[in-house]
Amino acid sequence: MKILVTGANGYIGRHVVCQLLEQGHDVTACDIRLNEVDKRATLKEFDILSGAYGDNLYEKLGKPDVCLHMAWRNGFVHNSPAHIGDLSNHYKFLSALLDSGLKHLAVMGTMHEVGYHEGVINENTPCNPISFYGIAKDALRRSMILSAKPHDCVLQWIRAYYIVGDDLKSNSIFAKLRTAALEGKTHFPFTSGKNKYDFIDIDELSMQIAAVVGQKEVTGIINCCSGQPVSLADRVEAFIKENNLDIQLDYGAFPDRPYDSPCTYGDDSKIKCILSHLNER
């Protein structure tokens, strides 16, 4: 397939581009900078938030079989005003693609669209986001549902959860732990660690995302996740052991945030279905 990946130079995007290339797809990597993208891809520097698209954006971007829209600013800063400010330009960009001929759109979403929720999250779970990031993503999701239908465009909304990886370019607790260890620190201030979340390794997440966009049978909201709740303490302790970090957690140094759910995780039934069909091919 010819796959256009926006936000290809981002933390998740770089991994997904590699995974798609390994699967034999023809990938066009699109971003404002492409310095860290696999050079096997076709590299196209393009500011998707500029609003200056001209005529027939779909043709200008190579007439892809599918667009995987991963571009997003300040994704690790959940209450950045940029999320709301950029929302209309994300909508304009995707609408321009639909208007000019795109027939398969996959967009990167987030469990933060849901807001506070206890228990499993599925495609029917009500959304009440409590951050600018979640609000903007949820608004884009709702907008694309309305926009894709009259264009007869396949729409997949890929909802990600908590990502584990040792990439120092991320802003997760795992990256912060590695940074602290590299700086020679032996103690790391921590919460109680009792909250349970759905953790997924960046390579596994990339494989799941590639599997989603490589097919059209399963659509709508698709959780890319492990489907298993694990306590933050257990996962962080495991990460320390896996990476041989000489650092200890100082439990209780920070209070637990009152808006964090005690236990939330994704329903993985749809991604399991996709992966099982992929394995049968």
- Among residues 121, 133, 124, the alpha carbon closest in space to that of 228 is found at 121
Reading the block at residue 40, the tokens are 């096997």
Measured N-to-C along each axis, helices 82-99 and 132-148 cross at an angle, to the nearest 10 degrees, of 10
Bridge partners of 189? 250
Query: By the 8 A CB rule, do 174 and 122 touch?
Result: no
Q: Among 58, 133, 161, 265, which one carries the catalytic annotation?
A: 133
Bridge partners of 250? 189
The enclosing H or E element of 210 equals helix 202-213
197 is catalytic: no
Q: What is the dihedral of CA 153, 158, 159, 164, to 10 degrees?
A: -170
Please tell me the distance from the alpha carbon of residue 114 to that of residue 124, in angstroms, as a whole number: 10
**Catalytically annotated residues:** 133
